Structure 1
C-alpha cells in the first residue's frame, strides 16, 4: 500500500473516532464494567474452588446446587450450605481490578431457609494471592459484607473494610433481614469515600468512611480547653425592664367579704358574737405581680463546646481505595445449615445492580406463595408427628398400667399363697 493510502486510512480512523466520541457525548453514554457476575448456572463448579479448611477436623461443610425448598423459579439455582454445625468455605478467582477513581458495587442475594440459631451469611472480597484450597477464617480480606445472626439478639449486618492490613468494622448498628425469603444486599463505595448500603434495592443507610469507620482520626475534635464566656446569654426570654409594678398592687387582698351576704334573722350577738359576712375570692386580685416577658436581645442560644481542627488528622485521599481485588469468597460458620447464596455481582454501575434485583424479583410473589405452602406443609407434618407422639405415649401408658395391674395381681396371689401355706401348717400342728 502507498503512503497516500496509509495516510487516508489514518485520516478515516481519526474521523470515525471523532464521530464516535461526538455520538457518545450526544447520547451521554457511560461505559460501565461488570467485573464478575455469578448466577450459578451450569459450569459454575469450574469457576469455584471448595476449600479443604476444617476438613481434617471433620468440620468442613459442603454446598449443594439447588433453588432451595421454595423459590420463585425452581430453575434459578444457587449454592446452599448443607450439614449442620459446619464451617463452609468456597471461593472464585475474578479478573483483578482496582476501585481507584471508580465506584465499587458488591451485591449478592441470600435466602436463609433455616431457623438459624447462630451463623453467618456474609461474603468476602480478597486481595493478593489466596491459596483457594486453604481459604478459611484466617485468610485476609479487603471487604466483609452481609448478615450475621445468633439467637434472637444478634441480627447484625457486617460491613468490615481493611486498611493498611487492619480490619475496621462500621460503627453503626446495622440490622439485617430475618425472614426466609430471598434478600439482596448491596454495598456501594464511591471515590469520594461515601457509601450506601441497600437491601432489596432500597437504601438502608449511607455516610462516609471518614465518619463511620475509625480508620483515620476525626477531622474535627471538641476544644476541651474552651470555656463559656462570662457574658454568654442563654436566656431566650427575660423580664421586660420597662414594666413597673402598679402602685398598691401588693395591698389588694386575696379575699373580700361577700357583699351579697346578710346577717341571719336568728343571729344573736350576745350568744353568737359579732356577725361577719363570709369571704369570697376578690375579682380584683390577680396573684403575685410578674413582669411581662420579652425576647432577650442578647440571646445567643445554649453554649456548646466548639469544634476545632484535629492536629492529629492527616488526610488520605486514597482512603476508599482497596488493594486490588482478585477473589470473591464465602466463608461462614452455621449451627443450622440451609442458606442459599446466588446472584453475586461485582461492578461499577449501581443502576445495573438494581436491574438485576428487579429481574429476580419478578417472581417475588411466587416465592412468597411457595414459602407459605412450605410452612403449611411443615406445620401439618409437625402436628402429625405430635399426634403420633401423643398416641405412642398413651399406648405406652396403657401398657405400663396393664403391667402394673398384672404385677399387683401376682403379688396378691403370692401373698395369698403364703397365707394359705401358713394356715395349712397351722392346722397340721393342731
Structure 2
C-alpha cells in the first residue's frame, strides 16, 4: 500500500512492513500498525475502479492481533470515487467511503462491521446503513493472537454474506437487515396533529356509585403490639445494655463551661454477654387484622373510552423505493483509517475482486498454508513452550538470566574456595593451631594467677588473726607473786592469763 499522510503529524511514520512476531513463515511480510493511542491512515489505489453493476463485490483480508486487542478497530474502508478526494495523500477520517468492513472492539463490545453509505435518490444525500449484529461470538478472534481471515460478499441480488475463517457468521438482505432501513416508510405520523382535549384514553375508571362501608377504618395502623409476646428466659430487664467505662478518665483539659458536663464513655455490660438481652423488653409487632388501608372505589369499564390516541398517518414526503441498493457509489481505493490502544496489528493478503473463486484460491494459497504451518509448529515442543510463554520467549529468557545472576555468583564463590592452594590451607591450619595453643597457655597462666591471689589473701587473713590474739594477751596478762609473797619488778615464773571476771 502507498502511505497516505495528512497535515496531522499523528498520522506519520507509524506503519511498518515486517514479519509477524510468530514467525512461522520466513520472509512473509505484512503491514503492521506500530502506533498506540494515535490516529493512523494508509491507503492504496485499486488497479481499476469497481463499479456495482452485475458482478458481486468480494473483499477479503487477514488480521492478526499480535498483542491482543483492548480498544480499537481493524476495519477496512473502500473509498468512494469523488472528484474532491482524488489525492490519497489527503486520506483521513472525513474522506468519503462506500463500504466499511472489519472487526472492532472496545472493552466487552465486540463488533464485525458492515456499513455502506446509501445515496438518497431524491436529494442526493448519504446515510450510513449498519448491518445487524452477527449471532456468533467474536471474543476469541481478538484474544488468541492467531491470524483470521475476514470475507465480505455483496451480490447484485442485494444479499450479503460475512465469513470469518471461511465460516459464515452473518448474512441477509440489504433491504431488510440494516438499520436504518434503506427505504423509508410510505406513511408517517402527522407532526402537526394534536391530541383533542376531551379525548378519554382511560380504559378503567373508579365506580362513581361506590360508597365506603361504615366500618371501614382508614386510621387503623398496619401493625400492632403483640400482647402475648413475652421476654425470653434469662432476659435481664434491670440491667442496662451499656454501662460507664470504669477505665475512662476525664481529660485534664476538659472545661465544663465550654465542653459541658463530662461523662465517661460507655461499654457493653459484661452481664449481658451470656444473656438473651438487657434493658426494658420491647414486645414484637404483628400485622393488624383490622387494617384495611385507604378506601378506594372499585374500577369499572370506562363507558367513554376512546382508545389510545395516535396522530393520524400522512404520506411521507421523503418516501422513495430503491429496489437496487447494491448499486452503490463506485470505489477506487482501499485504506485503513484507525485508532487503537493495542500496537502491532498486522494486516495481510488484502484482495478486492468480483470473482469468488479468485478470492477462495487466494485464501487457500496464503491463509490456509499459514494456518497449517502454525498448527504443525504448535504441536512441537518449542511451539508448546512458545504458547506457554505467550509467544514472547525473549522476555522470558531475559527474566531467566536476571534470576540466575545471583545463583551464578554464589556458585563461582564456592568454586574459588574449592580451588585455593593446599599450602595456603595448611598455613591457615597452622595459624589456627598456634592460636589455640596460645589461648590454652594464657588460660593456664590466668588459673595460676588466681591461685596465687587466693593464697596471698589466705596468708593475710591468718596474720590478721595472730595479731588480734597477741593484742588480747598483752592486755590481760599480769605478774604472778612468788612463794614468799614478795613481788619483784620481773616475774620469774611463766606468765598466766588472768581469768576473766564475770
Determine helix, strand or coil for the equivalent of 2:100: strand
Question: What is the number of equivalent residue pairs in this alignment?
Answer: 260
Q: Is the 8 A contact 1:197 1:203 kept in 2?
A: yes
The residue number in structure 2 matching 1:107 is: 60
Q: What TM-score, normalized by structure 2, do the two folds share?
A: 0.46
The alpha carbon displacement at 1:205 in A equals 1.6
The alpha carbon displacement at 1:384 in A equals 6.4
Q: Distance in 1 between matches of 2:373 and 2:101?
A: 28
In the superposition, relative to structure 1, how do residues 189 and 53 fare at CA in structure 2: closer, same or farther (>3 Å)? farther
Q: Is the 8 A contact 1:109 1:342 kept in 2?
A: yes
Q: Distance in 1 between matches of 2:364 and 2:156?
A: 26
In the superposition, relative to structure 1, how do residues 311 and 103 fare at CA in structure 2: closer, same or farther (>3 Å)? farther
The residue number in structure 2 matching 1:367 is: 374
1:334 equivalent among 329, 340, 352: 340
Gaps of 5+ in 2: 120-125, 188-313, 406-502
Q: Distance in 2 between matches of 1:85 and 1:218?
A: 39
Q: Is the 8 A contact 2:134 2:169 kept in 1?
A: no
The residue number in structure 2 matching 1:180 is: 145
In the superposition, relative to structure 1, how do residues 113 and 380 fare at CA in structure 2: closer, same or farther (>3 Å)? closer
What are the equivalent positions in structure 2 for 1:201-220 lying under 5 Å apart? Answer: 201-213=166-178, 214-217=180-183
Question: Is residue 126 from structure 1 mapped to residue 79 from structure 2 by the alignment?
Answer: yes
In the superposition, relative to structure 1, how do residues 329 and 376 fare at CA in structure 2: closer, same or farther (>3 Å)? same
The alpha carbon displacement at 1:171 in A equals 2.6
Q: Is the 8 A contact 1:110 1:184 kept in 2?
A: yes
- 1:344-370 CA distances to partner (integer Å, 9 max, x unpaired)? 111111122112112221231322436
- 1:27-49 CA distances to partner (integer Å, 9 max, x unpaired)? xxxxxxxxxxxxxxxxxxxx513
In the superposition, relative to structure 1, how do residues 53 and 353 fare at CA in structure 2: closer, same or farther (>3 Å)? farther
- 1:78-136 CA distances to partner (integer Å, 9 max, x unpaired)? 11011322221101111112021211111111111112221111101011234312211
The residue number in structure 1 matching 2:164 is: 199
The residue number in structure 2 matching 1:146 is: 102
The residue number in structure 1 matching 2:17 is: 65
The alpha carbon displacement at 1:70 in A equals 1.3
Q: Distance in 1 between matches of 2:7 and 2:134?
A: 31
Greater Rg over alpha carbons, structure? 2
In the superposition, relative to structure 1, how do residues 72 and 322 fare at CA in structure 2: closer, same or farther (>3 Å)? farther
Question: Is residue 315 from structure 1 mapped to residue 321 from structure 2 by the alignment?
Answer: yes
The alpha carbon displacement at 1:200 in A equals 1.4
In the superposition, relative to structure 1, how do residues 108 and 132 fare at CA in structure 2: closer, same or farther (>3 Å)? same
Q: Is the 8 A contact 2:43 2:334 kept in 1?
A: yes
Q: Is the 8 A contact 1:121 1:148 kept in 2?
A: yes
The alpha carbon displacement at 1:59 in A equals 5.8
Q: Distance in 2 between matches of 1:353 and 1:59?
A: 31
The residue number in structure 1 matching 2:43 is: 91
Q: Distance in 2 between matches of 1:160 and 1:390?
A: 52
Q: Is the 8 A contact 1:61 1:87 kept in 2?
A: no
Q: Distance in 1 between matches of 2:66 and 2:336?
A: 17
The residue number in structure 2 matching 1:347 is: 353
Question: Is residue 78 from structure 1 mapped to residue 84 from structure 2 by the alignment?
Answer: no
Gaps of 5+ in 1: 1-46, 222-309, 393-430
Determine helix, strand or coil for the equivalent of 1:215: coil
The alpha carbon displacement at 1:381 in A equals 5.7
Root-mean-square deviation (CA), in Å?
Answer: 3.4
Q: Distance in 1 between matches of 2:54 and 2:97?
A: 21
Q: Is the 8 A contact 1:125 1:142 kept in 2?
A: yes
Determine helix, strand or coil for the equivalent of 1:50: coil
The alpha carbon displacement at 1:388 in A equals 8.4
Q: What TM-score, normalized by structure 1, do the two folds share?
A: 0.54
In the superposition, relative to structure 1, how do residues 61 and 332 fare at CA in structure 2: closer, same or farther (>3 Å)? farther
Question: Is residue 50 from structure 1 mapped to residue 16 from structure 2 by the alignment?
Answer: no
Q: Distance in 1 between matches of 2:100 and 2:350?
A: 14
Q: Is the 8 A contact 1:119 1:149 kept in 2?
A: yes
- 1:273-329 CA distances to partner (integer Å, 9 max, x unpaired)? xxxxxxxxxxxxxxxxxxxxxxxxxxxxxxxxxxxxx98674313211121111110
Question: Is residue 167 from structure 1 mapped to residue 128 from structure 2 by the alignment?
Answer: yes
The residue number in structure 2 matching 1:22 is: none
The alpha carbon displacement at 1:173 in A equals 4.4
Q: Is the 8 A contact 2:386 2:393 kept in 1?
A: no
In the superposition, relative to structure 1, how do residues 373 and 166 fare at CA in structure 2: closer, same or farther (>3 Å)? farther
The alpha carbon displacement at 1:391 in A equals 10
Q: Distance in 2 between matches of 1:215 and 1:104?
A: 21
Q: Is the 8 A contact 1:136 1:331 kept in 2?
A: yes
Determine helix, strand or coil for the equivalent of 2:3: strand
